[in-house]
């Protein structure tokens, strides 16, 4: 029977996660015993959410058209095409990028056909993603003007960085050379190089990142990117090939449901420089912040050119009437402030959504509304 259901997400305890942010959002004791990095809300096989103890992935597999709707099931198969997260970064995440849809499909097939191939891919899908800040949030997103980056690296007064500075001075055409040179810097000189950069004292960003990842050449690659500071409600968009890294803060993230990540540093995990360079887009990102688009006086969205997902923010005040949610497809509702009730439009038993809690609306439920006092984010398949 169609309805709205409480959805239980899964918290992933990566080392860079916060011991306070997710706990405080959900009203649990803080600090938590271990770092809490991401709250996953979706049906990704890595950690599917549950409804009354049953995996959302299983529910979709057993009834794809009822859960997803005919149109979504026909287009994406037996899978929820998006994954929603609450991300809580207390330390910088890895420098990373994601392949586009065509390349992901080809690379995955080639990897599966060759048992000796490097294991860079976990599936055949792309992973464009967007993040909306819930607190002040810092990130690195896309390449800035390489001539500006050249001036920063030159300010360190380190002679052996000369070839990197020269490449950057040529503009966008030199970005690939600069990134490759830094990521393949001789291993026996990396620690000394980063120490000299920090000792120069001209880059607080380099000093901060090096405190977490001493001796990692990704510290210098980070200086080639836009350093973005988001206020709550501001968003950044990371399409395929965009080199990025989250630094600190709490935010709502939504992405195509893939786990394909190519890393370029600031991590103990595997880095494949050649493969990363194949997927990177060496272009300047002039303005990394994605503006919100009003939908109604109480609702905004952020327009991105993908079919897998759309994200909406609803703000319900004391005089706000019940608001209609996106009317079709599978929807996930995340509470971020106050106390909101989500229900079918007709004769539905409401599900209470408080901060850090979520509700799931199958396609077969149809129209649904939100009422109460607070803030929610709603994930849906783009129309």
Nearest by Cα to 79 from 94, 93, 59: 59
Angle at 299 (CA atoms; ends 294, 304), nearest 5 degrees: 55
As a whole number, the mean pLDDT across the chain is 96
Single out the residue in 172, 201, 227 at which a domain terminates.
227
- Residue 186 pLDDT > 90, yes or no? yes
Whether residue 286 lies inside any domain: the answer is no
Over residues 88-145, the pLDDT tens digits come to 999 999 999 999 999 999 999 999 999 999 999 999 999 999 999 999 999 999 999 9
Single out the residue in 206, 227, 248 at which a domain terminates.
227
Is 67 marked within a binding site? no
- pLDDT band of residue 347 (cuts 50, 70, 90) is low
Single out the residue in 227, 249, 276 at which a domain terminates.
227
Give me the percent of the chain exceeding a pLDDT of 90: 96
Is the CB of residue 222 less than 8 Å from the CB of residue 245? yes
Tokens of 197: 């950069």
- The CATH number that applies at residue 342 is 2.60.120.10
- The pLDDT of 54-70, averaged and rounded, is 97
- Residue 296 pLDDT > 90, yes or no? yes
- Domain of residue 373: give its range: 293-380
Domain count for the chain, please give it: 2
**Catalytic site residue from 263, 270, 307, 331:** 263
Whether residue 186 lies inside any domain: the answer is yes
Whether residue 66 lies inside any domain: the answer is no
Whether residue 37 lies inside any domain: the answer is no
- The pLDDT of 190-204, averaged and rounded, is 97
- Residue 345 pLDDT > 90, yes or no? no
Nearest by Cα to 323 from 348, 297, 303: 297
Whether residue 103 lies inside any domain: the answer is no
Whether residue 48 lies inside any domain: the answer is no
Collapsing DSSP states into helix, strand and coil, what is residue 134? coil
Is 44 marked within a binding site? no
Phi, psi of 295 (to 5 degrees): -105, -40
- CA gap 354, 240 in Å, rounded: 33
- Residue 68 pLDDT > 60, yes or no? yes
- Residue 1 pLDDT > 60, yes or no? no
Over residues 309-344, the pLDDT tens digits come to 999 999 999 888 999 999 999 999 999 999 999 998
Is 244 marked within a binding site? yes
Whether residue 274 lies inside any domain: the answer is no
229 is catalytic: no
Is the CB of residue 56 less than 8 Å from the CB of residue 42? yes
Longest CA pairwise span in the chain (Å): 72
- The pLDDT of 54-59, averaged and rounded, is 97
Is 71 marked within a binding site? no
- The pLDDT of 185-213, averaged and rounded, is 97
- The pLDDT of 221-228, averaged and rounded, is 98
pTM: 0.95
Whether residue 316 lies inside any domain: the answer is yes
């Amino acid at each position: 029977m169609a309805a709205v259901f409480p959805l239980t997400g899964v918290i992933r305890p990566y080392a860079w996660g916060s011991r306070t942010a997710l706990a405080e959002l959900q009203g649990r004791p803080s600090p938590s015993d271990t770092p809490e990095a991401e709250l996953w809300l979706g049906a990704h096989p890595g950690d599917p959410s549950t409804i009354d103890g049953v995996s959302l992935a299983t529910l979709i597999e057993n009834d794809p058209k009822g859960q997803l709707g005919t149109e979504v099931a026909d287009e994406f198969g037996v899978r929820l095409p998006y994954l929603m997260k609450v991300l809580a970064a207390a330390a910088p995440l890895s420098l990373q990028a994601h392949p586009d849809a065509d390349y992901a499909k080809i690379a995955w097939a080639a990897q599966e056909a060759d048992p000796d191939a490097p294991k860079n891919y976990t599936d055949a899908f792309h992973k464009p993603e967007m993040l909306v800040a819930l607190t002040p949030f810092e990130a690195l997103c896309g390449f800035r003007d390489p001539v500006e980056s050249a001036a920063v690296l030159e300010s360190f007064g380190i002679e052996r960085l000369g070839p990197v500075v020269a490449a950057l001075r040529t503009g966008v055409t030199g970005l690939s050379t600069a990134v490759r040179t830094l990521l393949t810097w001789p291993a026996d000189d990396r620690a000394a190089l980063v120490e000299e950069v920090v000792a120069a004292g001209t880059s607080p960003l380099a000093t901060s990142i090096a405190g977490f990842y001493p001796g990692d050449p990704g510290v210098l690659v980070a200086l080639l990117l836009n350093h973005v500071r988001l206020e709550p409600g501001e968003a950044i968009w990371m399409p395929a090939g965009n080199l990025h890294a989250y630094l600190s803060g709490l935010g709502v993230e939504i992405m195509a449901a893939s786990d394909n990540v190519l890393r370029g540093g600031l991590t103990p995990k595997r880095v494949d420089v050649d493969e990363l360079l194949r997927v990177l887009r060496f272009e300047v990102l002039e303005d990394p912040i994605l503006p919100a688009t009003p939908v109604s006086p109480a609702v905004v969205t952020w327009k991105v050119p993908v079919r897998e997902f759309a994200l909406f923010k609803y703000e319900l005040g004391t005089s706000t009437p019940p608001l209609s949610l996106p009317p079709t497809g599978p929807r996930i509702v995340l509470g971020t402030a106050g106390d909101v009730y989500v229900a079918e439009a007709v004769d539905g038993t409401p599900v209470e959504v408080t901060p850090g809690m979520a509700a799931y609306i199958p396609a077969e439920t149809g129209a649904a509304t939100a009422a109460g006092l607070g803030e929610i984010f709603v994930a849906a398949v783009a129309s």
